[in-house]
A = this chain, B = another copy of it.
Amino acid sequence: MGIMLKKVHLLQSPEEERTDVYINGNRISAIGREPRGFSADETIDCSGKTAMPGFINCHTHAYMSLMRNYADDVPFATWLFDRILPIEDSLSLEEAYWGNLLSIAEMIRSGTTTFVDMQMFPRMAVKACADTGMRALITRGLVGSDRNDEGAKTRIAQAFDEMDYGKDIGAPVSFGLGPHAIYTCGEDLLRYVAELAHDKNLPVHLHLAETQKEFDDCMNEHGMSPAAYVDSLGLLDGEILLAHCVYLDDNDFSILARPHVHVVTNPASNMKLANGFAPVTRMLREGIHVALGTDSAASNNALNMFTEMRLLSMSQKGVTRDALALTAEETLRIATENGAAAIGREDLGSIEVGRTADLILIDEDCPSLRPLYNRKASLVYSASGSEVSDVMIDGKWVMRERHLKTIDEERVIYETEKIAAKYR
């Protein structure tokens, strides 16, 4: 299958320039000049479009869109323990499937082509990705005291089952382990996860240093910061995605500055739950790898990487009192290339010859983006997400001219409202 994007603008080009992009199968096979033997099954006029790599949303919980706007304007502990967890515990697998689909619909519409999930219903996430063509790194949420904890053992066994299931149905997903947090996983369980991840060559995905309480409790209990604590357990020796990292002490910055450690910042969730602002500008200065996530729609309350980029850049400028903090260019890189690096997929995150064709088209004919002096600034500071017209994952269109091709949105809304009716 050959697709030609004719006269498209690429972000790496000068503002006035347009070129042609040739996609063969799931690869970007050429830019600018038709490759030998290329045959276009589809030629798209992109003379009013900008192409950019699809976003990599590096931290969410996709099934939780079912709890969107269910518990707002309440403190963190009330939100989590009194409102969110009771619903989570009562969801059926089928309900979780529809929740995952609702999230995927929203993410595709706003230009996300890959998400990293901490899941309580991994099989349903795998199935939702297989059904829609969405790409994901799915990590099984784990809680428990130690490696002999029955709940944890069951979930770990399940996690390996899901990997087989994913392979069987050809889902575009990879897998990891998702110990929930240092306050819901005991020391021995965390050590075990580190060992298992090393033995099986799996990435780990963990909430870390999200709240002041978590930081203070860790200092009291272990005599060290959350970052130092997980380092002491061996968790930072392998590939790991650390969501949040709002509360770091001076020493933590050097602990986290390692090539295989990826901090995933979630500005909307941190602000909305009143946890504050992660020191992202300082992280970058100290050589820490930073990617971007939305967290779930229960704490954001959107899965929109455009509004998330905007919030990230603006909040960092506001907090540091430096208008040059997190430029548009840096912010875009965090939301794309850095995300690709965080999931070990260097073939994603940019539009270059030989890369995998995960890309989105932006409709330039929106008054909100004009004039187009500087498209990177337009995308970070002006766009709201609705400018995305087309989305391609693995060389296949999942949205064309704002129409979702692999999801029946009406059905998804119907099913999710039916579920929500139970909790009203």
* Chain A residues proximal to chain B, CB less than 8 Å: 15, 65-66, 68-70, 72-76, 79, 102, 105-106, 109-110, 212, 268, 270-277, 297, 300-304, 306-307, 310-311, 313-315, 317-318, 320-325, 327-328, 365, 367-368, 370-374, 377-378, 381-382, 384-386, 409-410, 412-413, 416-417, 419-420, 423-424
Contact = CB atoms under 8 A, between A and B. Distances in A.
Contacts of A410: 365
B328 A73 contact: yes
Given A272-B323, A384-B386, 15 more contacts: A15-B424, A66-B371, A68-B370, A68-B373, A68-B378, A72-B377, A75-B324, A106-B367, A110-B368, A271-B315, A274-B323, A277-B318, A365-B409, A370-B413, A385-B386
Copies in the complex: 2
B310 A72 contact: no
Contacts of A382: 68-69, 297, 300-302
Given A311-B314, A318-B277, A73 B373 contact: no
Nearest to A364: B413
A371 B419 contact: yes
Contacts of A320: 274
A301 B377 contact: yes
11 contacts: A15-B424, A70-B371, A72-B327, A72-B381, A75-B324, A212-B321, A271-B315, A271-B318, A272-B381, A315-B315, A371-B419
Contacts of A313: 272
A424 B265 CA distance: 34
Contact of A69 (B275, B325, B378, B417): B378
A289 to B, nearest CB: 22
A377 B69 CA distance: 6
Contacts of A66: 371
Given A271-B318, A318-B277, A323-B79, A302 B371 contact: no
